[in-house]
Structure 1
Amino acid sequence: ARWFFGDGLPNGGLMAQREITNLLVNRPNPEMNPMTFISCTEENDQVEWMKDCEEIAPYCSESDDFKEEANEVLRDQGAALPYSQGFHLVGMLVAAMNPEDLDAMDESVPFTKTTLDNLLGIEHNEQSYRHYFTCFEEAQKKRSVIGASDQFKKAVKWNYDEFLRATTASQIPAVRDFQLRIRQIG
């Protein structure tokens, strides 16, 4: 695994951003070479490229300071997903190696019941999983639209029963389609 601590745009500007992203998207065996970006600045516009790269490169993660990351998780997953400093620390260390759960906390795809059970270490009944899923949907409705990807994320309607039954979100065709569309928008 590799960690990149950065405080802004690469020296080569937009061209360097594209080259870094291309390198990560096309690297051989990404699961054997996970990459984590650690944002070391309060200026989000300076590290937005890391967030964009994380969304399209496999086994790639980006992490902000705790407060920023907690806000992202709340915006993307909703109020029912507890997010702590412990989750934050573990995510900084190994999220890139765990794309189905730790790295997916700040993405706009709901967790399957099985993934949520494993992530939180408890087995949810259908009522508690429904609560999580409803909070996820409410968070998406409240999403601020800044760009095309936000508009798309806000408009997607997920099928509760698919997430209740599937082991991982990547097994759901609508999720794979969503991720492809996000890469195309990005």
Structure 2
Amino acid sequence: MKRLLAGLLIAVTGSLFAAEAPEKESMRTRAGLYVDAIEAYEMLRNPGDRQVVLIDVRDPIELNFTGYTQMVDVHVPWKIMDSSRWNENKQSYGGYVNPDFAAEVTSRLDALGIGKEAHLVFMCRSGSTRSAPAADALYELGYANVYSMVDGFEGGKAKSGEHQGARVVNGWKNSGLPWGWKLERDVMYGLDK
């Protein structure tokens, strides 16, 4: 039965990878393509006849504190943290949407020889606020195969138990996928190459 369903999914979407659309409207994309971390990893490991690109849209500071996977092809932050912007409601620093995001990503893709037919997977910390609008930005430029990783790098927060409130549920990091603390200079945002 599972093989039959997988075959139907491939026939309908052209892909074996299709996480369900998120319930929250802010997490939905115009392309309507979603993967979880494990599906993204499988796409990268077994691309078949397509190009698959992992784009990390987290702020550079986040990478230092939450970790990184060397499977990332492009790192351009969707939102840039700014210590001069205090968010009183959240009791944390704020930031602003990177005004050059789409241009910087397309420039990186062009440099890598990645065309508009490629499958682009966008990853943020939790999949809740940045990967979807980042995917939409490239979708608007004609990239049709843009996926939002719905559980992000760190995953969701535990609702109960000893780790309640901590990001220990799903996501790249919690799924046993390869990650670490070493960043790759040639992939990182804002560095002269």
TM-score scaled by structure 1?
Answer: 0.25
TM-score scaled by structure 2?
Answer: 0.24
Q: Considering fraction of residues, name the structure with more helix.
A: 1
Q: Considering fraction of residues, name the structure with more strand.
A: 2
